[in-house]
Amino acid sequence: MADFRFNLLTHSPDVLRVISTALGDTPDDKFRTDTDVGKAVKMGAKSNHIICAANDEIEGFIDTVKGNTVNDGYSFGGVRRGGRVEAIVGPSQVAAIVPLDYVVADTQEAAGVKGTAKVKKGAPTRHLWRVINVIGDGLPGSKVILERDE
């Protein structure tokens, strides 16, 4: 009998809920498509999204980065706020992450530095991303598939 595991899906845009946004904490944060797509972000106070710090609730993941700037120099792109995404168990996770665990951000790479979203087990209260599949042992470096729990 074959095993079945949840995985990424191709969704219609209404499921992914991609929104247009300014990217970065300041105009000096320069985002790039090849290095920043997939990083975990949260909403900032300037019609922008910023890379999550450790323990932040994840509001979305960078989906696209465009070449133009907005709002006096901020990078511009899209943030996925729904659907399923792939992330990596971050270095500060101690015990193995398992399916049904809820996650928050672990330390992310800065804008322009190549990296994948890093997560760790947490207790978010508002932006609920849940592990639906673990690829590996669930310890740091393992891949996980997350789904937004609405």
- Domains of the chain in start order, with CATH, are 13-148 (2.40.300)
Reading the chain (150 residues) residue by residue, the pLDDT tens digits are: 778 888 887 666 677 899 999 999 999 999 988 899 999 999 999 999 999 999 999 999 999 999 899 999 999 999 999 999 999 999 999 999 999 999 999 999 999 999 999 999 999 999 999 999 999 999 999 999 999 987
Cα–Cα distance measured from residue 23 to residue 36, given in angstroms and rounded to the nearest whole number: 10
Residue 5 confidence (pLDDT): 83
